[in-house]
Chain A
């Protein structure tokens, strides 16, 4: 068990919903969520498909531990071919939606085709129905959430929806559940919008059964004790959240600033976790209200903030005066350091808008950063920007663009392209800080060598969560490595990538791995699922998943040439800090990485590797 063994297949072209058994042979090889849904994707979707065509499919997938008593067991992922990247996309979200879907009795929802008119999917335990959503189209995520709960007289219903960004073709539109948790990256919301699917509304009351209850509870209890006793998951993350990294990464000289022109931001302290806790001069209140946990989580790293009512962004707009989700580190960095904006309240507002209209703040912020550089070069002028003085550091420009991009209006349509398409359009593709079309997160590959390799080889485009070597290179988890040294990083990246793929397939949050190893996770899976799950088996499965994703991308047309970094990181040395004078040593790390992966020099899994992993 752990699995419900049921898949809901929804055909939007026909308006049908059908239940089918989960492929248990695949479940034993790929477990759930990321791995299992990717296996379905590989089976059912042509890698060369246009992501925004009806032939692309979406897989909303839970893991076997989703909805159980395991700490952080509330995760689900959306797997599809990404609109932003044209690569395999897997966006993972917390909140409560995943657990609700599982408790409704479904391991996975497969969405195929395209509805003629806007629709939403209603799931009430075993019953599922495609319903008209004309009244929801044009509404924000927040409005959609409220309308659906009211319409169904069901306050406990969980909603996963797109906002106006997803409707209007913002290429990095995301899918937001529970108001401010998101399947955020790679444009999965744009795919959903292209299908005229506004939302999934779910109510589940059936609970989740596990294979061996006493064994499961013993493992879960032991795991929770480890999380509570660990200083990071028991104290640091609940108190300061991910935002605590702002000052750390700035001090280490790896905080990408102003579209990666600099590696340290003079305003970092003003947008940090520490700043969020400071009382404001204007109203005597702190930006941070409290922390928040997702379903079943005993860490509770989430931030709930409240904006300064006198701030220029909201002074005349009480709608934003209430407490909302954010800022988390990645959003604060992308909206702040990447654009040179050090106004915490402005970043908070821009982040609210990203949640409200459903767009990835990382790609939004970094695209604004790229546009600001184009503006300062004179390539973009106020003629193109609709009168916006798009200068680095301008909180007015940032927040104005968040408003028009979320609504799909004016120059916001151009910002909605993402940095790759935008900079190509204006003749400067070298200014897009991206890999495979997806923008970097908040760590500079010159100051942290391993993460540069992780970005270059990430299957969903630049991403820190595919192999979070920051844990080792900066934070010393599980052991400290030197961020400025590239030797040995190929193995480190591979180890993180494989382990993460396993965790992402379980229903658990990857943040548990600041305290847990696979030896802590395996007994929990083994208690929930039949099949004899060990850490070694999970690690091998993670490697299998990584290679399967790689194969999909190769078949989609990606080659080893795409495993690279922008010229800025390879040729322009860091100007300040410990990494001053350094570029990323990708050329040294990549061949070793291919070799360790069992890939040819062209980056293709060899027959031996394919056989070894039973792909």
Chain B
């Protein structure tokens, strides 16, 4: 199945070849979690601060246990803020 992964701010550097506009479509097997995506893209764990699944915050405890569904959108940011 396919999922969309978006990486922003300092994580931009980890976007794989073929990524456009901060996002890339990835082919994953059933049961893949957000943590598995983080590992596959070699993202430093300490930079994966804000993780949104379809716009909803994914608690740290869910990132390694909740399987992604087809067409899910996973967006990840390092610690950031603004105002």
- Which partner residue on chain B sits nearest A577 by CB separation? B55
Q: Among the listed A243, A252, A465, which residue makes an inter-chain contact with B52, where contact means beta carbons less than 8 Å apart?
A: A252
- Taking a contact as CB atoms under 8 Å apart, the answer to whether B12 and A274 are in contact is yes
Contacts A232-B79, A247-B22, A465-B83 given: A240-B9 contact, CB under 8 Å?
yes
Q: How many residues of B contact A (CB 8 A)?
A: 25
| A15 touches B (CB below 8 Å) | no
Contacts A251-B75, A465-B83 given: A239-B55 contact, CB under 8 Å?
no
Contacts A274-B9, A482-B57 given: A244-B82 contact, CB under 8 Å?
yes
| A329 touches B (CB below 8 Å) | yes
A241–B9 CA distance with the chains assembled, in angstroms: 10
| A495 touches B (CB below 8 Å) | no
A244–B80 CA distance with the chains assembled, in angstroms: 7
- Taking a contact as CB atoms under 8 Å apart, the answer to whether B82 and A243 are in contact is yes
Give chain B residues whose Cβ lies under 8 Å from the Cβ of A480.
Answer: 57, 59
Give chain A residues whose Cβ lies under 8 Å from the Cβ of B10.
Answer: 235-236, 239-240
- Taking a contact as CB atoms under 8 Å apart, the answer to whether A511 and B9 are in contact is no
Distance in Å: Cβ of A77 to nearest Cβ of chain B: 16
A273–B80 CA distance with the chains assembled, in angstroms: 12
Give chain B residues whose Cβ lies under 8 Å from the Cβ of A470.
Answer: 83
A236–B9 CA distance with the chains assembled, in angstroms: 8
Give chain B residues whose Cβ lies under 8 Å from the Cβ of A239.
Answer: 9-10
A35–B41 CA distance with the chains assembled, in angstroms: 49
- Taking a contact as CB atoms under 8 Å apart, the answer to whether B8 and A274 are in contact is yes
A335–B46 CA distance with the chains assembled, in angstroms: 34
> For chain A residues 452-510, which have a beta carbon within 8 Å of chain B?
464-465, 468, 470-471, 474-477, 480, 482-483, 510
- Taking a contact as CB atoms under 8 Å apart, the answer to whether B79 and A236 are in contact is yes
| B54 touches A (CB below 8 Å) | yes
Contacts A231-B78, A248-B50, A578-B55 given: A511-B12 contact, CB under 8 Å?
no
| B49 touches A (CB below 8 Å) | yes
Contacts A274-B9, A475-B50 given: A232-B55 contact, CB under 8 Å?
no
Q: Among the listed A247, A330, A468, which residue makes an inter-chain contact with B8, where contact means beta carbons less than 8 Å apart?
A: A247
Contacts A252-B52, A269-B22 given: A329-B6 contact, CB under 8 Å?
no
A476–B48 CA distance with the chains assembled, in angstroms: 13
- Taking a contact as CB atoms under 8 Å apart, the answer to whether B8 and A232 are in contact is no
- Taking a contact as CB atoms under 8 Å apart, the answer to whether A248 and B55 are in contact is no
Q: Among the listed A236, A269, A482, which residue makes an inter-chain contact with B81, where contact means beta carbons less than 8 Å apart?
A: A236
- Taking a contact as CB atoms under 8 Å apart, the answer to whether A253 and B81 are in contact is no
Chain B 65-83 per-residue mask, 1 if CB under 8 angstroms from chain A, else 0: 0000000010101111111
Distance in Å: Cβ of A52 to nearest Cβ of chain B: 29
A591–B16 CA distance with the chains assembled, in angstroms: 50
Give chain A residues whose Cβ lies under 8 Å from the Cβ of B57.
Answer: 480, 482-483
- Taking a contact as CB atoms under 8 Å apart, the answer to whether A248 and B8 are in contact is yes
Residues on A facing B (Cβ under 8 Å): 230-233, 235-237, 239-245, 247-248, 251-253, 269, 273-274, 329-330, 464-465, 468, 470-471, 474-477, 480, 482-483, 510-511, 514, 577-578
A-B pairs, 6 with minimum CB distance: A242-B82, A231-B79, A245-B82, A236-B80, A578-B55, A514-B81
21 residue pairs of the A-B complex, CB under 8 angstroms, read: A236-B81, A237-B81, A240-B10, A240-B80, A242-B81, A242-B83, A244-B80, A245-B82, A247-B75, A251-B55, A251-B75, A252-B52, A329-B83, A470-B83, A474-B50, A475-B50, A475-B81, A476-B49, A483-B57, A510-B83, A578-B54
